[in-house]
Each structure stands twice: as C-alpha cells, then as structure tokens.
Amino acid sequence: MARNLQLGLESNWNLVYSNSFSGVVIVDDMEQPFTTKILEIAVPIIFDKPIIAVNVYTTVPVGRIWKYAGYLRRSLTTGLGASFVGQPESLFLGKFNLLIFEDLNINYYVSIQVPKWFTTANISVYQYEGIDTTTLEEDVQAIKSALGI
C-alpha cells in the first residue's frame, strides 16, 4: 500500500503557528549578565492532520557550528489529562523538519524544547493540507480480481 502525498506544492502547506522566544537576561551579584534557559514551548494549536513541518531558527554565535534545534513532543488529551504520545522527535536547526505521524488518528498538540544554550528561538509550524490518500482501495480491487470475486 502506497501513500499519495503532494508535499512539494507550497499551496498544500498552511502556516498555523509562528512566534519568537527569548531567554530572560538577569544580572547576577557580580553585575555579570546571563540569559536564562527558554522553557518548553507549548504550541497553542490543535492539530488535526498527521503531517506537519517545523522550522526552528536562532542566531548562531560566530565561530560555532550548531545543527541541533531541540526536540518536539506530541501530546493528546485523555480522560486522565494530557498524555505524551510516542518518542520525542529531534529537530534540525534552520531546516524544515518534516514529521509524519502514522500512529495518530485523533487531534493532538505539540511542544518544542530548544537547547539550553539558545538565547532566542524563532519557531514556525506548518500543517499539510493537501492530498493524503492511499492505494488501499485499488489494492483490494486487484486482490478481488485475482481471486475472481
């Protein structure tokens, strides 16, 4: 069974969330400033499609090479409260991270945790709105024809 998607068409993607975050600058007792860690970012959107793309951007200090942008976790609301689903998904910095959730047919939420050394983070989340079909029906018809049903 194959899955038919049109991921390459820009019109099939809908920007559902975009925001910037910064750690808080605090001056310690010796009057040295430092920036606090950015807390886990709960994206306030209910997703109803199994395919999303996430982009995380930050300014990388001169002389550094950063590729890791943290991780994304999925959660859903159950009768017992919010529950995490599946394993955390690693995110790459400055890339559109394509996430396809095969095991989820209900609405879900996502949260993003950037690395503790990020002082700023720009987050964009897109939801795939295009064609998402399988060849299951065609495969069933082919089996029926082969069996003479």
DSSP one-letter string for 58-85: -PPPTT----EEEEEEEEEEETTEEEEE
Helices (H) and strands (E) in the chain, counts: 1, 12
Looking at residue 10, its pLDDT comes to 83
Which of the residue ranges 42-46, 58-62, 129-133, 144-148 would you say has the lowest mean pLDDT?
144-148
Mind listing the pLDDT tens digit for each residue in 3-40?
Answer: 777 677 788 899 999 999 998 878 777 777 778 899 99
Q: Starting from the edge strand earliest in sequence, which strands make up the sheet with 108-113, in order?
A: 41-47, 108-113, 68-78, 81-92
Domains of the chain, by residue range, sit at 11-147
Q: What is the DSSP letter of 93?
A: B
Q: Tell me the whole-structure pTM to 2 decimals.
A: 0.81
Q: What is the CATH number of domain 11-147?
A: 2.60.120
Mind listing the pLDDT tens digit for each residue in 39-60?
Answer: 999 999 999 888 999 999 999 9
Does 138 score more than 70 pLDDT? no
